[in-house]
Structure 1
Amino acid sequence: MADKVLVAGAGKSGIAAAKLLTGLGGEVILYDKNETLKKHVVADNFTDEELEKIFFKFGTLKKTDVADIKLCIISPGISLEEDFVYMLDKSNIQIWSEIQLGYKAAKGKLIAITGTNGKTTTTALTGEIMHAVYEETFVAGNIGFPYTLTAADTTDNSVTVLEVSSFQLETIIDFKPHISAILNITPDHLNRHHTMENYIMIKEEIAKNQTEEDFCVLNYDDEILREFGKSDRLKAKAVFFSSKEILDEGVYIKNGTIFVKDEKGETEIIKTSELNILGTHNHENVMAAIAIARCMKIPNDIIKRVCSQFQAVEHRIEFVTEKHGIKYFNDSKGTNPEASIQAVKAMPGPVILIAGGYDKGASYDELAKLFKGKVRYLVLMGQTKDDIAECARKYEFNDIMYVENMHEAVKVCASYAGPGDYVLLSPACASWGMFKDYEERGREFKKEVLAL
């Protein structure tokens, strides 16, 4: 690893990377293109000892600023099409993602989970299963804690469960989990990845360095992943799960019960009625976690106990409260149409849906097709409100209302909902522009609901 490293991005990920690098004895140039950042505000995240090894650069990055740099750690939120990234490339400066840096510093077993939807739930459940057996279990990545924040604490006996995004997979080098998982692939982040073919290729990168001694858990019902699992592009052993098919080998649902089948035969794990999370997509998340746990040789009784106790992850079809016979659910993590489709399907009764946000270039047709007969009212806000409304009307759904903020959205929903209805925040879009992130959006929704 180079003596002096450029860290691009002064947010949570970049700060964690800078801390890890200084802890390893290196020096850091912490760069952010936002020239309005205050040095003392960013510096407050570091100890005096760390600050002795950190140089700050905000605004425009020049070639002279990186004359003695050979490596850059790039935060996942930064597009590889930024001008300074081209400059780094032309200067032959290698670019690593934050998870690549974490991988270089970490020890123990690594489980890495990606997919368009379901990553957070699957990662959280897998982490709880691992923790029931391995005292030193770390859960990191997109779930809230950068990998670089926990990497230095890992040991040869530890297990790390990592939620991985496509943004992070763009710049891995030799990142190699013992167990990888790709839960599903549907259109998302096309404003950054441009084509579905490129998005698919990046997701599959999670397994590119795996060998025959490793495992890759895949959704058999996803045609893309089924083909990948049977192709020579995958060197690891493919382990499939399915909510639609009874597999010759793998994890599947039969008559409302999750089974595992291997060379020893069929074994019942848990009934779906014993789970605390709603919807077929969540049953798929549970099956993925079970498949991972089986690859780690976790006993079935422990798997069943943890799965039966597991509660919904915050912001992912999270039950908030019931008021006047109306149930409120927070699915702020539903940042693309497919996630919102699953959330709407999971609601047992009529839905009043709050949607809209930042435009990632997605199509809303499949979501809009669900509205008639399932959604009573559609409450829209944010940059995409007109696009979603136009798509809904194309499918003859016209019960649409516009609002300017979350306070107004919740008030409107409470006014129009009746006993037995489900008010669901599932935006089908990113939060940017109105909120810092999906977590802030979800917290704002819950605050407004509880204040009714």
Structure 2
Amino acid sequence: MERKRLVVLGAGESGVGAAKLAQKQGFDVFVSDFGAIADRYKTALNELNVSFEENQHTSELILNATEVVKSPGIPATAPMVKALKQKGIPVISEIEFAKRYTQAKTVCITGSNGKSTTTMLTYHILKNAGLNVGLGGNIGQSFAAQVATEDFEWYVLEISSFMLDDMFEFKADVAVLLNITPDHLDRYDYKMDNYAASKMRIVQNQTEKDVFIYCEDDEETQKILKRTNIKARTYPFSIRKKIENGAYLENNTIHINTHLNEELTMSISDLALQGKHNIYNSMASGIVAKVLELRNETIRESMGNFKNIEHRLEFVAKISDVTYINDSKATNVNSTWYALESVGTEVVLIMGGVDKGNDYTMLKDLVRSKVKAIVCMGKDNKRIHEAFEDDVDVIVNTFSADEAVQVAYHLAKKGDTVLLSPACASFDLFKNYEDRGNQFKAAVKEL
């Protein structure tokens, strides 16, 4: 019998992980990347004896596939993806592929904002409670690579809308939808409905035995829920109203009740993650833990001692009574809104970079009430000037992290916060958002 041919498009973390698992499962594997492949991934593919190509897609080597696993970064409009679809060759995501080969249960977390934080917090709670649990998806090590080499009983997966678009048979045992706000609309014909429908794929294939956790306060979620048939048990969370079965906030105390065991209560001042948006993130993780019937003491302890991920509202230093915060992961306007909302002092805001057609309107009120100066860091800051010239007295242009930090240092007074929260991608001056965050931190340490 001829071996099935599996072609992997994109040789990043998910692609190389898929190749590893496919090879273990006896496929004839080929990896193709339209760009250059990073050295560590080339080394990994060579060690696996998997053939690959870079800087091109060779049709003859790809269009003979039985099935194709595509990196989430490649849009459905890419010529090679179109050619595969025309030939009727199935194109799936790494997550879809990996799930076929594991009996492990999954907690899948999606949303426009907060998913990395919520995924990490949920993983932290489950691991501390003694579950045999892995962490993957859009974060950390590839899910497929772990299915090939580990033996976890649970996985907490961060799932982006791009991944969901290529998931068909996959089912989440516990699905979490945090929020739906405009992001990546360029991949969805600039239609909010298309993007929302993509996010809602998180509940596909769920049955009455499964769980769906969502934010009752989120407008777009409410809209799409009216058009979606949900079979799973649902647990909403809200900070505006009392929820019988789920989580709510009352007198600065979170209440979580799943009616499987006793109610969990916790003061928001005891949460490791501060700020309104993090109350939502903590509630979502708390419901997951309660649904899995973990002990209240364990959940409280984990929600109190969690350390947030790097580059997301990360405390860097306090110098001359000015606090420096690195939120380089804020690559869209919404993330910057959350960052500003969580800071309780006057702010010198460092922002800018590659603007994805941003609409800055939603930031105007917060900027007017909290921001004393904006330090732009990017090659073209025209749109930031236009957006905020009436709201802030000082807007300065800078062209490096060093320069931006120096300028911010001189603009900040005692008790202020210098916040790097760019609202833009980083590719004009930096390799990626991590590089931008690291350069910011290094510049702060030099002060």
Tell me whether the two structures share a fold, i.e. TM-score over 0.5. yes
CA distance in 2 between counterparts of 1:125 and 1:59 reads 38
Once the two structures are TM-superposed, the CA of residue 23 in structure 1 deviates from its matched residue by 2.1
Residue 400 of structure 1 corresponds to which residue in structure 2?
395
Say whether residues 1:111 and 2:107 are aligned partners: yes
Change (3 A) 1:119 1:41: closer
CA distance in 1 between counterparts of 2:130 and 2:264 reads 24
Residue 71 of structure 2 corresponds to which residue in structure 1?
75
- Out of 148, 156, 166, the position equivalent to 1:171 is 166
Residue 15 of structure 1 corresponds to which residue in structure 2?
16
- Out of 78, 93, 96, the position equivalent to 1:100 is 96
Residue 336 of structure 1 corresponds to which residue in structure 2?
332
Q: Once the two structures are aligned, what percentage of the paired residues are identical?
A: 35
Once the two structures are TM-superposed, the CA of residue 2 in structure 1 deviates from its matched residue by 6.9
Once the two structures are TM-superposed, the CA of residue 328 in structure 1 deviates from its matched residue by 0.5
SS at 1:401 equivalent: strand
CA distance in 2 between counterparts of 1:266 and 1:255 reads 20
User: Match for 1:336: what amino acid?
Assistant: N
SS at 1:415 equivalent: helix
Once the two structures are TM-superposed, the CA of residue 132 in structure 1 deviates from its matched residue by 2.1
Change (3 A) 1:262 1:140: closer
CA distance in 1 between counterparts of 2:232 and 2:40 reads 45
Structure 1 stretch 189-198 or stretch 229-238: which is displaced more? 229-238
User: Match for 1:30: what amino acid?
Assistant: V
Equivalent residues in 2 for 1:318-329, closer than 5 Å: 318-329=314-325
Once the two structures are TM-superposed, the CA of residue 133 in structure 1 deviates from its matched residue by 2.6
Using the size of structure 1 for normalisation, the TM-score is: 0.93
Say whether residues 1:353 and 2:349 are aligned partners: yes
Once the two structures are TM-superposed, the CA of residue 230 in structure 1 deviates from its matched residue by 5.8
SS at 1:307 equivalent: helix
Change (3 A) 1:230 1:295: farther
CA distance in 2 between counterparts of 1:259 and 1:266 reads 11
CA distance in 1 between counterparts of 2:29 and 2:264 reads 52
CA distance in 2 between counterparts of 1:112 and 1:303 reads 19
Residue 191 of structure 1 corresponds to which residue in structure 2?
186
User: Match for 2:219: what amino acid?
Assistant: E
CA distance in 2 between counterparts of 1:110 and 1:230 reads 25
Contact 2:258 2:287 in 1 (8 A): no
Once the two structures are TM-superposed, the CA of residue 124 in structure 1 deviates from its matched residue by 0.8
Residue 121 of structure 2 corresponds to which residue in structure 1?
125
Equivalent residues in 2 for 1:376-395, closer than 5 Å: 376-382=372-378, 385-393=381-389, 395=390
SS at 1:107 equivalent: coil
Residue 32 of structure 1 corresponds to which residue in structure 2?
33
Residue 443 of structure 1 corresponds to which residue in structure 2?
438
Residue 7 of structure 2 corresponds to which residue in structure 1?
6
Deviations 1:158-206 (A, max 9, x none): 1100011111111111111100001011110112223211110111111
SS at 2:187 equivalent: helix
Once the two structures are TM-superposed, the CA of residue 232 in structure 1 deviates from its matched residue by 4.7
Once the two structures are TM-superposed, the CA of residue 255 in structure 1 deviates from its matched residue by 0.5
Once the two structures are TM-superposed, the CA of residue 65 in structure 1 deviates from its matched residue by 2.3
Say whether residues 1:64 and 2:60 are aligned partners: yes
Residue 428 of structure 2 corresponds to which residue in structure 1?
433
CA distance in 2 between counterparts of 1:61 and 1:91 reads 16
Unpaired segments of 5 or more residues in structure 1? none
Change (3 A) 1:400 1:67: closer
Say whether residues 1:288 and 2:284 are aligned partners: yes
User: Match for 1:94: what amino acid?
Assistant: P
Structure 1 stretch 314-323 or stretch 267-276: which is displaced more? 267-276
User: Match for 2:87: what amino acid?
Assistant: S
Change (3 A) 1:343 1:302: same
User: Match for 1:309: what amino acid?
Assistant: N
Runs of 4+ in 1 over 6 A off after TM superposition: none
Residue 206 of structure 2 corresponds to which residue in structure 1?
210
Give the root-mean-square deviation of aligned CA atoms.
2.1
User: Match for 2:8: what amino acid?
Assistant: V
SS at 2:84 equivalent: helix
Unpaired segments of 5 or more residues in structure 2? none
Equivalent residues in 2 for 1:231-242, closer than 5 Å: 232-242=228-238
Residue 370 of structure 2 corresponds to which residue in structure 1?
374
CA distance in 1 between counterparts of 2:144 and 2:24 reads 11
CA distance in 2 between counterparts of 1:209 and 1:63 reads 34
Contact 1:359 1:383 in 2 (8 A): no
CA distance in 2 between counterparts of 1:406 and 1:42 reads 29
Aligned length: 445
Equivalent residues in 2 for 1:78-89, closer than 5 Å: 78-89=74-85
Equivalent residues in 2 for 1:406-421, closer than 5 Å: 406-421=401-416
Deviations 1:309-367 (A, max 9, x none): 11222211111110111101111121211111111111110001111122323311111
Residue 43 of structure 2 corresponds to which residue in structure 1?
44
CA distance in 1 between counterparts of 2:37 and 2:261 reads 60
Deviations 1:222-277 (A, max 9, x none): 02223445655222121101112111321011101111235589834210111122
